Structure 1
Amino acid sequence: MAEVDLADLDAFAAVARSRSFRGAAGGRSVSPSSLSEAVRRLEARLGVRLLNRTTRSVTPTEAGARLLERLAPALGEVAAALDAVNSFRDSPTGTLRLNVPTIVARTVLPPIACAFLAGHPAITLEVMAEDGFIDVLAAGFDAGVRYDERLEQDMIAVPIGPRIQRYATGASPAYLAVHGAPEHPQDLLAHACIRHRFASGASLPWEFERAGEVVRISPKGPLVASNIDLEIAAAEAGLGIIATFEDALAPGFSRGTLVPVLEAWWPSFSGPFLYYAGRDHLPAPLRAFVAFLRERARER
């Protein structure tokens, strides 16, 4: 039987689970081309095609599906065996791969990540910030950060960051001087508004709440973007009213480049969670991060 490289087997499993070379590469900080080469090398050594590839999809062949079924538990055991060595170290080592929403990477994660890494110098943290809702485990991540409405029911969730957040609305003083301030959410339909569009193509309605009354509107405006920095810059330049996470607008409020709008209507919601699969042997870096978050919560 042909000798095969364990790394090539691992690369195949990652691609087969995520059904994407790009998705598997994102969770491993390697290039899609390197994973493609590893799979080609494995197929050549085994003498059988393992993946069907088109410009739109990657799917396991019958042989590939059979190999993945038998291979996944074995690779898990190898990873657990290697990680067990970490219990003999003074400090855990290894790589922790997280998939998080862009707003979490921007406003929630920086102080947490910096404090964690300062206390765990042998751990490397890899963060992929994106707003698409993917299967983080299939894509090769150890854990993800999501808000409660997006949590899978079979995952373990640990609070991370602020427990209550708000969705805020703001505009520049120059815009309000010319157009006036809205007094009710419905007034926004007569204003220029800056909208956010997710990677999926969705642009969600704006939601407001006060004393049990909920108002949802879909305003119009001069800019629809998928980048919060561009949206904030447009609002500060006086192009319209913006609605997003309060934490993202807080610097503008502090500088005076933005002014709160309809503050009595800002809805609040529960903060994000770190979530991961409940299994007996967590990788040492993930186990250390979970312990760090729980200790941080106790201290607060």
Structure 2
Amino acid sequence: MRDQRDLRYFIAAARHGGFRGAARATSTSASSISEAVIRLEERLGVRLFNRTTRSVALTQAGETLLARLVPALEEVDAALEATSALGKGPRGLLRLNVPGAVTRTILPPILERFLAAHPDITLELIANDGFVDVLASGADAGIRYEEALSQDMIAVPIGPRSQRFAAAAAPNYLERRGHPRHPHDLLSHDCIRTRFPGGALGIWEFEKAGGVVKIDPPARMTVSTQAVDMAISATVAGLGILMTFDGWLEPLLEDGRLLPVLEDWWPTFSGPFLYYPGRRHMPPPLRAFVDFVKAEQADERAEGRSRSQGIGPL
């Protein structure tokens, strides 16, 4: 047990920039952290940290040990949690890193059903529109749209398998400026754009009869992906044309506050995916969530087959 404690103290010192930071993070003393590292160094016969009066930094040997040690201890923790959960329902904290887009309509009903089914699981949701390293962010799993995943990641469909982008504008804007007839007409219109955390503006893509047109229209107003509500309000106020998820605009299109623009060009795309590390032992809350999502997807596929065959409820 002392060997494992020394290893965890070493990880804490590496993550928190030295012995004092590790001591604060682990609620122990800096001398205990230092003694643990010295024991490890003596046992391994290599120096793990370069120490000066001002700083503590990993050596190459320390970096090698840290890279191998962190996933190994995570496997140990997951195995212990899974074993302790035998005979009782899963419990603990589930951390998800998700884009803001799924927090509006897709994720809330899924999480409500999941948490109702698992009363001993608590949830921490981090909204982040960038593509992040799940483990480095401290999350157990992430949700993204068709991202290129590293080889040790597993992707599971979550939510609708097909979505659509819609373009719309207020009636008074279209009365003043006219209705675009082709995506290229947008180059002479005021458009309301969204910007990703990395600084890139989202390119507007349209499709029709197998053809795709990509447009980088002028922006009368630009908002971050976390401020889409402001973009929608500005569109209703007549400031320009907006392109976003059709589900977000549907109520406004139905009551006439917005009118569709280039509706026959609206593109469809694949729905989001839940992705997580392909570890042998998953924390029980994550395992419960993955199983729940897979079961819901299976139920939806079965319902879809029944509808296509004309089979109704008995």
User: Shorter chain as normaliser: what TM range?
Assistant: 0.7 to 0.9
Q: Superposition pairs for residues 88-107 of structure 1, below 5 Å?
A: 88-107=86-105
Tell me if structure 2 keeps the 8 A contact 1:168–1:243. Answer: yes
Flag the structure with larger Rg.
2
Structure-1 residue corresponding to 2:271: 271
Q: TM-score, normalised by structure 1?
A: 0.81
Structure-2 residue corresponding to 1:179: 177
Q: Residue 4 of structure 1: CA displacement?
A: 5.8
Sequence identity, in percent? 52
Q: Aligned match of 2:196 in 192, 195, 198?
A: 198
Q: 1:280 to 1:234 in 2, by over 3 A?
A: same
Q: Aligned match of 1:218 in 185, 208, 216?
A: 216
Structure 2 counterpart SS, 1:189: helix
Given residue 221 of structure 2, which amino acid in structure 1 is its aligned partner?
L
Q: 1:3 to 1:298 in 2, by over 3 A?
A: closer
Structure-1 residue corresponding to 2:296: 296
Given residue 194 of structure 2, which amino acid in structure 1 is its aligned partner?
H
Unaligned runs of 5+ residues in structure 2 are 39-46, 52-56, 301-314
Q: Residue 85 of structure 1: CA displacement?
A: 3.4
Structure 2 counterpart SS, 1:222: strand
Give me the whole-angstrom Cα distance separating, in 1, the residues matched to 2:198 and 2:50: 26
Q: Superposition pairs for residues 35-46 of structure 1, below 5 Å?
A: 37-38=24-25, 41=30, 46=37
Q: Aligned match of 1:131 in 123, 129, 132?
A: 129
Give me the whole-angstrom Cα distance separating, in 1, the residues matched to 2:7 and 2:250: 48
Unaligned runs of 5+ residues in structure 1 are 21-33, 53-58
Q: TM-score, normalised by structure 2?
A: 0.78
Given residue 215 of structure 1, which amino acid in structure 2 is its aligned partner?
V
Tell me if structure 2 keeps the 8 A contact 1:43–1:49. Answer: no
Q: Residue 62 of structure 1: CA displacement?
A: 3.3
Structure-2 residue corresponding to 1:28: none
Give me the whole-angstrom Cα distance separating, in 2, the residues matched to 1:102 and 1:129: 5
Given residue 151 of structure 1, which amino acid in structure 2 is its aligned partner?
L
Given residue 104 of structure 1, which amino acid in structure 2 is its aligned partner?
V
CA shift digits 1:129-164 (9 cap, x unpaired) = 111111112322111111124333442111100000
* Aligned positions, number: 278
**How large is the RMSD of aligned CA atoms in angstroms?**
3.1
Deviates more, 1:89-98 or 1:145-154: 145-154
Structure 1 counterpart SS, 2:289: helix
Tell me if structure 1 keeps the 8 A contact 2:207–2:265. Answer: yes
Give me the whole-angstrom Cα distance separating, in 2, the residues matched to 1:153 and 1:73: 15
Given residue 133 of structure 1, which amino acid in structure 2 is its aligned partner?
F
Q: Residue 220 of structure 1: CA displacement?
A: 1.0
Q: 1:232 to 1:69 in 2, by over 3 A?
A: same
Given residue 273 of structure 2, which amino acid in structure 1 is its aligned partner?
F
Structure 2 counterpart SS, 1:76: helix
Give me the whole-angstrom Cα distance separating, in 2, the residues matched to 1:216 and 1:148: 18
Give me the whole-angstrom Cα distance separating, in 2, the residues matched to 1:87 and 1:4: 23
Structure 2 counterpart SS, 1:208: strand
Work out whether 1:81 is the aligned partner of 2:79.
yes
Structure-1 residue corresponding to 2:150: 152
Give me the whole-angstrom Cα distance separating, in 2, the residues matched to 1:64 and 1:224: 45
